[in-house]
Structure 1
Amino acid sequence: MAASGRSWVDAFANEATPGGVRYDQILTGAADQQKLRSVVGILTGVLLFFFGASLVSQLLGGLGWLLLSPGGDFADWLRALSRFDNPWGMLSGHLALATLIPISFGVVLFVHHRRPRWLGSVRPWFRWRYLLLSMLLALVLFNLVLFVQHLGASFPTLQPQADYWVFLVVILLTSPLQAAAEEFFFRGYLLQAFQTLVPRTPWFGVVCSALLFALFHGTQNLPLFLDRFAFGLLAGALVVRTGGLEAAIGAHVVNNLMAFSYAGLYSTIAEVKATQTIGWIDLVWDLAGFGLFTVLAILLGRRLRLDVTTPARP
């Protein structure tokens, strides 16, 4: 195999990516064949996530029980982990969500026989300059919106929760991985797979992937559901308009870093993790922030002259 210059990935990735197509059209090919593969891939990906994430979470929970010797009942320990009552809970929870990355790659490779790097962008993989600039844009814009939102109101008292600095290390190390994993699965694989089912409707994949993204977050009131659904729609629009996951990942990473790190300073991370309701005013502010980021990120992509379609094939 080494002599022929082929890897084991080449043995499975035996179908070429079509040239001159948008990001959401990357999995297109023989219509009937790709539709069947997409149905199989979507079901496989969802089932693998439920089983894989649960397994990783349980294994890490057991490992933490052995290493940290917290005492008490093991079932109580696992419940505390699921609530993010301690840093190990956040670590295990985020690493469990990170299984979405190998699941996305595996489904693309073994079900669709395409190279997983095309989940990154149309070039393929990440355009690193755009990713970093998107994160910087999100950091400035989201903090500005947060400041304006609370303008005129008294800011809460600074009271870091117990083990905050340990939490902060876990946040910085694992929140980007968790956010990127969700983007790879929802705005990456699922968006592309759903789009093959109704290829004549340009935004079918965006809407379906955003809907699943919102539903996957569990119990929530209507404004919170709409908030997450809207984020999925805007992130999906970014992916299609810019030709890659970079801006969506940048926004998601910064949003999660801010949410968890600020929560640990002013309340508790467990409180944010348990959020099931928000108000309509909160929804409006979130839409304003994400909407403005979407517009500016698209303009930034144009400024950088990003390719938005795959290279034309000879």
Structure 2
Amino acid sequence: MDFIKQAFNVKHEFWRYLVGSLIIAIFAIVGQFPFAIAAMFKYVANGGSINDMDEQALMSVLEPNLNLFLLLLSFAFGFIGLIIAVKYLHGQTIQSVTTARKKIDWKRVLFAFLFWGIITSGMILVDYFISPESYVWNFELNRFLILVLVAVLLIPIQTSLEEYIFRGYLMQGFGMLAKNRWLPLLMTSVIFGGMHVFNPEVGKLGYGVMVYYIGTGLFLGILTLMDDGMELALGFHAANNLFGALLVSADWTVLQTHSVLKDVSEPGQGFGDIFIPVFVVFPILLIIFAKVYKWTNWKEKLFGTIEAPVTENYKVLD
């Protein structure tokens, strides 16, 4: 059974996806309360005034490991909202939001995780040896070990929630609405990119960086549609964020961590920084994944129509 078409077997009116998205957002907002409370208390204890507080001040007031833990905690709350929406609003299983296979293929998740983890780590190390002046050694064993614990536990939850919302839940929802594949792919990618518009990277690099965010959404969406499941996207996204958080950070990025290296260079927004990943690296990765998993029929899987299946054992719910 096709990945998007699985939604025909559950309650799939589009208003349910809007309400479900609201439920997820409410849970995620509730999950931000611990961070907000802790940051406000710390800010005031350091002599700051409540009237002068802004988001940037709150983001920098806590110790980085605690800051990371409390920020990522909201995604764990959001995941609870997702499970509630999927189970009780749609009568659906998490597995059917994950894949069209009979069970989740963890080998695919692991392959994408290790494959991209090795590549992204290698690129960071190569850049370090080519431009050592762009980095400072930031390694502190005790703080790094705490970072590893927090990152390994919570970053996969953060990345998985984003994948479940955009490449799973809303991909199926927009598919049921549009009855085609290109609109869900486009809509989820644009919304995914738009969710990053308030990241400090955008303030530092400018709106041109949105090409990278939307392009990443398109890449992950193509992975999902071509492979009939989210497993590759789950592994890729987790590796991208986890290895990045552990190996290198910068003062202008959304995640401030006790990483091994700190990038002190002045970031650019030229061809190499934004367009090469989207228009060179991602297409090469798609070709590699296509060879490994023997993808065919690209036109139908990315641009074809979606029709309700007609079988004796498949009941379409309105």
Which one is further off, 294-303 or 248-257? 294-303
Q: Is the 8 A contact 1:61 1:78 kept in 2?
A: no
Aligned amino acid, residue 204 of structure 1: L
Match of 1:209 among 150, 170, 188: 188
Partner of 1:196: 176
Change (3 A) 1:197 1:77: closer
Match of 2:24 among 36, 43, 49: 49
Length, aligned pairs only? 277
Partner of 2:281: 289
Mapped to 1, the partners of 2:129 and 2:284 lie a distance apart of 19
Q: What secondary structure, in the 3-state scheme, does the structure 1 residue paired with 2:31 have?
A: helix
Shift of 1:64: 8.3
Partner of 1:5: none
Q: What secondary structure, in the 3-state scheme, does the structure 2 residue paired with 1:98 have?
A: helix
Match of 1:218 among 194, 197, 203: 197
Q: Is the 8 A contact 1:134 1:247 kept in 2?
A: yes
**What's the Cα RMSD here?**
3.5
Mapped to 1, the partners of 2:85 and 2:275 lie a distance apart of 36
Partner of 1:136: 114
Partner of 2:79: 101
Partner of 2:153: 173
What's the TM-score once normalised by structure 2's chain length? 0.73
Mapped to 1, the partners of 2:57 and 2:150 lie a distance apart of 16
Gaps of 5+ in 2: 257-266, 296-300, 302-308, 314-318
Mapped to 2, the partners of 1:154 and 1:62 lie a distance apart of 39
Shift of 1:151: 7.4
Match of 1:254 among 223, 236, 239: 239
Mapped to 2, the partners of 1:43 and 1:100 lie a distance apart of 15
Shift of 1:179: 0.7
What's the TM-score once normalised by structure 1's chain length? 0.74
Shift of 1:246: 0.9
Gaps of 5+ in 1: 1-19
- Of all paired residues, the percent bearing the same amino acid is 17
Partner of 1:26: 6
Mapped to 2, the partners of 1:95 and 1:313 lie a distance apart of 44
Shift of 1:203: 1.7
Mapped to 2, the partners of 1:82 and 1:51 lie a distance apart of 21
Match of 2:270 among 279, 286, 297: 279
Deviations 1:251-285 (A, max 9, x none): 11111012212224xx45xx321799843321123
Partner of 2:293: 301
Q: What secondary structure, in the 3-state scheme, does the structure 1 residue paired with 2:294 have?
A: helix
Aligned amino acid, residue 290 of structure 2: I
Change (3 A) 1:46 1:146: same
Q: Is the 8 A contact 1:210 1:236 kept in 2?
A: yes
Mapped to 2, the partners of 1:117 and 1:242 lie a distance apart of 15
Q: Is the 8 A contact 2:172 2:184 kept in 1?
A: yes
Partner of 1:3: none
Mapped to 1, the partners of 2:64 and 2:54 lie a distance apart of 10
Shift of 1:302: 2.9
Shift of 1:144: 4.1
Q: Is the 8 A contact 1:81 1:89 kept in 2?
A: no
Q: Is the 8 A contact 2:168 2:230 kept in 1?
A: yes
Shift of 1:140: 2.4
Shift of 1:28: 2.6
Change (3 A) 1:260 1:70: farther
Q: What secondary structure, in the 3-state scheme, does the structure 2 residue paired with 1:26 have?
A: helix
Q: What secondary structure, in the 3-state scheme, does the structure 1 residue paired with 2:137 have?
A: coil
Deviations 1:12-40 (A, max 9, x none): xxxxxxxx3x212221369xx73xx22x2
Shift of 1:117: 1.8
Partner of 1:89: 67
Mapped to 2, the partners of 1:142 and 1:245 lie a distance apart of 20
